[in-house]
Chain A
Amino acid sequence: MSTTTPLLAVDGIGISFGGVRAVDNVGFTARAGEVFSIIGPNGAGKTTLFNLVSGVYTPKAGSVHLAGEPVTALEPNRLAERGLSRTFQNLQVFFRMTARENVMVGRHLREKRGLLAHLFALPSTGRQNRESAAVADALLERVGLSAQADIPAANLSYGALKRLEIARALAAEPKALLLDEPAAGCNAVETEEIEKLIRRIADDGVAVVLVEHDMKLVMRISDRILVLDQGRVLAEGSAAEIRSNPKVIEAYLGTHGTREANLALD
Chain B
Amino acid sequence: MGKLLSHRLAVPVVIALLVVALSFAMPSNFYYRVAALVWISALAVIGLNLLMGYAGQVSLGHAGFFGIGAYAVAVLPAQFGLHPLVAALAGAVATAAIAFLVGRPILRLKGHYLAVATLGFGILIAMTISNEAWLTGGPDGMPVERLTLFGWRVRGADTWYWISGGLLVIGAWIACNLVASPTGRALRALHDSEVAARVAGIDVARAKLTVFVISAVYASVAGSTLALVNGFVTPDKANFLHSIELVTMVVLGGMGSILGSLAGAAILVVLPQVLTGFHDYEHMILGLIMMVIMIVLRAGIVPSLAAFFQGRRNK
A-side residues, CB < 8 A to B, are 54-56, 75-77, 80-81, 85-86, 88, 92-97, 101, 104-109, 111-113, 115, 117-121, 125, 128-129, 132, 168-169, 171-172
The answer for the CA separation of A54 and B201 in the assembled complex, in Å, is: 11
Q: Are B183's CB and A118's CB within 8 A?
A: yes
The answer for the CA separation of A56 and B194 in the assembled complex, in Å, is: 11
**B87 beta carbon closer than 8 Å to chain A:** no
Q: If the complex has contacts A76-B195, A92-B196, are A108 and B186 also in contact, measured as CB distance less than 8 A?
A: yes
Q: Are A76's CB and B199's CB within 8 A?
A: yes
The answer for the CA separation of A97 and B187 in the assembled complex, in Å, is: 11
Among candidates B174, B177, B180, B186, residue contacting A105 with C-beta atoms closer than 8 Å: B186
Q: Are A101's CB and B256's CB within 8 A?
A: no
User: Which of B15-23, B69-77, B202-210, B222-230 participates in binding chain A?
Assistant: B202-210
Which of B186, B197, B200 has most A Cβ within 10 Å?
B200
The answer for the CA separation of A115 and B217 in the assembled complex, in Å, is: 15
Q: If the complex has contacts A76-B195, A94-B193, A97-B188, are A118 and B182 also in contact, measured as CB distance less than 8 A?
A: yes
**B104 beta carbon closer than 8 Å to chain A:** no
The answer for the CA separation of A54 and B199 in the assembled complex, in Å, is: 8
Among candidates A94, A113, A171, residue contacting B182 with C-beta atoms closer than 8 Å: A113
**B83 beta carbon closer than 8 Å to chain A:** no
Q: If the complex has contacts A128-B182, A132-B182, are A121 and B177 also in contact, measured as CB distance less than 8 A?
A: yes
Q: Count of chain B residues with Cβ under 8 Å from any Cβ of A?
A: 30
Q: Are A92's CB and B186's CB within 8 A?
A: no
Q: Are B188's CB and A96's CB within 8 A?
A: yes
The answer for the CA separation of A108 and B186 in the assembled complex, in Å, is: 8
Q: How far is the CB of A66 from chain B (nearest CB, A)?
A: 14
**Which B161-178 residues sit within 8 Å CB-CB of chain A?**
173-174, 177-178
Q: How far is the CB of A74 from chain B (nearest CB, A)?
A: 11
User: In the complex, what residues of B have CB within 8 A of residue A104's CB?
Assistant: 182, 185
Q: Are B203's CB and A77's CB within 8 A?
A: yes
The answer for the CA separation of A93 and B200 in the assembled complex, in Å, is: 11
Among candidates A96, A118, A119, A171, residue contacting B192 with C-beta atoms closer than 8 Å: A96
User: In the complex, what residues of A have CB within 8 A of residue B201's CB?
Assistant: 77, 80-81, 108-109, 172
Q: Are B210's CB and A115's CB within 8 A?
A: yes
Q: Are B8's CB and A121's CB within 8 A?
A: yes
Q: How far is the CB of A198 from chain B (nearest CB, A)?
A: 18
B173's nearest neighbour on chain A, judged by CB, is A121
Question: By DSSP majority rule, is chain B's interface helix, strand, loop, or mixed?
Answer: helix
Q: How far is the CB of B156 from chain A (nearest CB, A)?
A: 31
A168's nearest neighbour on chain B, judged by CB, is B200
A75's nearest neighbour on chain B, judged by CB, is B198
Q: Are B188's CB and A80's CB within 8 A?
A: no
User: In the complex, what residues of B have CB within 8 A of residue A118's CB?
Assistant: 177-178, 181-184
Q: Are B195's CB and A56's CB within 8 A?
A: yes
Identify the 4 closest CB pairs spanning chains A and B, nearest first.
A118-B181, A92-B196, A109-B201, A80-B201
Q: How far is the CB of A179 from chain B (nearest CB, A)?
A: 12
The answer for the CA separation of A104 and B200 in the assembled complex, in Å, is: 10
The answer for the CA separation of A93 and B188 in the assembled complex, in Å, is: 11
Q: Are B188's CB and A94's CB within 8 A?
A: yes
The answer for the CA separation of A55 and B181 in the assembled complex, in Å, is: 27
The answer for the CA separation of A119 and B217 in the assembled complex, in Å, is: 13
The answer for the CA separation of A120 and B177 in the assembled complex, in Å, is: 6
User: In the complex, what residues of A have CB within 8 A of residue B203's CB?
Assistant: 75, 77
**Which B115-151 residues sit within 8 Å CB-CB of chain A?**
none
**B189 beta carbon closer than 8 Å to chain A:** yes
A120's nearest neighbour on chain B, judged by CB, is B177
User: In the complex, what residues of A have CB within 8 A of residue B178's CB?
Assistant: 118-119
Q: How far is the CB of A99 from chain B (nearest CB, A)?
A: 13
User: In the complex, what residues of A have CB within 8 A of residue B200's CB?
Assistant: 77, 80, 85, 105-106, 108-109, 168, 171-172
Q: Are B202's CB and A77's CB within 8 A?
A: yes
A102's nearest neighbour on chain B, judged by CB, is B189
Among candidates A75, A81, A92, A108, residue contacting B193 with C-beta atoms closer than 8 Å: A92
B6's nearest neighbour on chain A, judged by CB, is A150
Query: What are 28 contact pairs spanning A and B, CB under 8 A?
Result: A55-B198, A56-B198, A56-B199, A75-B203, A76-B198, A77-B199, A77-B202, A80-B199, A80-B201, A92-B193, A94-B188, A94-B189, A94-B193, A96-B191, A104-B182, A108-B185, A117-B181, A118-B177, A119-B177, A119-B178, A119-B181, A120-B174, A128-B182, A129-B180, A132-B182, A168-B196, A168-B200, A169-B199
